[in-house]
């Protein structure tokens, strides 16, 4: 199993959906897309093994991969959609849902984000009126200087946890924590169009994308940067995205028409020899 299949507990969610119960997820025979992606569905320079399947969210990703000479794509929709299937009790917002959850663009273990968080605070204050929750990725959350910028602004500051790396420290409930938090709000926003914005919009939250997009340290030019994202999806890069526009975009990008049945997942992931929970 490629270690990125474990990110955010994705392999564990898929195992539960496939009827394999809890515990350690079996090895997935292939590569599972772990976040919204504007290229071939995977991180730059992923070392694909010839013939191994690539499980991606949408047909737009598959078409881009094919244009680059890649093959063996299976479009199955985002893991987020399977999480929603597992938790029908979270199909509706919390009774007291209010305010905005904002996701500043984040780095990871190998790349830092370069930018001014104070400018993000100013942008939030310009566009939002209700209570604000700022969700930082773990490495920014553990930086007191960054966290304090948002706390000093009077915002509630949280993290959903650690996504995991190289099969270690994976928080199996990362996405579930995110789902529960998103359900406490009526609006989702970020300084970059991202998975978090799509997830919130898929649940009917009013989405927004605004503010300094920041820079990712040593970002590879093959992705085209923010200029490409704004050029391709200008309708999604505004402070208040119309809900009907957001719905059409997220349905395609998350792959809502491609959700597989549990038995299909077991077949594609080669899990048919694993014990199905009774």
**One-letter-per-residue 3-state SS of 120-154:** HHHHHHHHCCCCEEEECCHHHHCCHHHHHHHHHCC
Tell me the average pLDDT of the chain.
91
Q: Per-residue confidence at 2, pLDDT binned at 50, 70, 90? A: confident
CA distance 110 to 184: 32
CA distance 134 to 190: 10
Return the minimum-mean-pLDDT range out of 194-198, 217-221, 230-234.
Answer: 217-221
The pLDDT assigned to 278 comes to: 45
CA distance 187 to 8: 22
pLDDT tens by residue, 122-160: 999 999 999 999 999 988 899 999 999 999 999 999 999
Rg (CA), the chain: 18
CA distance 143 to 203: 31
Residue 16: is its pLDDT beyond 70?
yes
pLDDT tens by residue, 33-80: 999 999 999 988 788 999 999 999 999 999 999 999 999 999 999 999
Return the minimum-mean-pLDDT range out of 36-50, 151-165, 215-229, 262-276.
Answer: 215-229
The pLDDT assigned to 115 comes to: 80
Domain boundaries, the chain: 3-88+255-268, 92-250
The pLDDT assigned to 250 comes to: 98
Query: Can you name the residues that pair with 75 across neighbouring β-strands?
Result: 56
The residue assigned the tokens 């200087």 is: 145
Distances (CA, A) of 129 to 123, 125, 126, 132, 187: 12, 7, 8, 8, 11
Q: What architecture is the 92-250 domain classified under in CATH?
A: 3-Layer(aba) Sandwich (3.40)
Share of the chain above pLDDT 70, in %: 90
């Amino acid at each position: 199993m490629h270690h990125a299949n474990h990110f955010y507990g994705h392999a564990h969610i898929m195992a539960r959906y496939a009827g394999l119960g809890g515990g350690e997820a079996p090895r997935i025979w292939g590569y599972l897309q772990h976040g919204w992606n504007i290229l071939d569905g995977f991180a730059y320079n992923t070392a694909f093994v010839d013939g191994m399947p690539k499980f991606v969210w949408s047909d737009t990703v598959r078409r881009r991969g094919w244009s680059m000479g890649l093959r063996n794509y299976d479009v199955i929709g985002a893991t987020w959609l399977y999480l929603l299937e597992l938790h029908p009790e979270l199909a509706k917002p919390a009774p007291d849902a209010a305010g905005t959850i904002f996701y500043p663009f984040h780095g990871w273990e190998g790349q830092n984000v370069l930018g001014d968080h104070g400018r993000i605070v100013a942008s939030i204050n310009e566009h939002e009126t209700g209570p604000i929750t700022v969700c930082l990725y773990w490495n920014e959350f553990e930086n007191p200087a960054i966290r304090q910028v948002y706390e000093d602004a009077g915002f509630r500051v949280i993290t959903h946890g650690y996504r995991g790396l190289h099969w270690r420290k994976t928080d199996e409930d990362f996405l579930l924590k995110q789902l529960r938090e998103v359900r406490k709000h009526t609006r989702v926003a970020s300084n970059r169009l991202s998975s978090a914005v799509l997830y919130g919009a898929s649940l009917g939250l009013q989405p927004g994308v605004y503010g300094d997009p920041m820079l990712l340290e040593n970002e590879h030019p093959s992705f085209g940067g923010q200029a490409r994202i704004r050029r391709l999806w200008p309708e999604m890069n505004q402070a208040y995205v119309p809900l009907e526009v957001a719905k059409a975009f997220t349905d395609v990008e998350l792959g809502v028409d491609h959700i597989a049945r549990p038995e299909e997942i077991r077949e594609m992931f080669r899990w048919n020899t694993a014990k199905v929970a009774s």
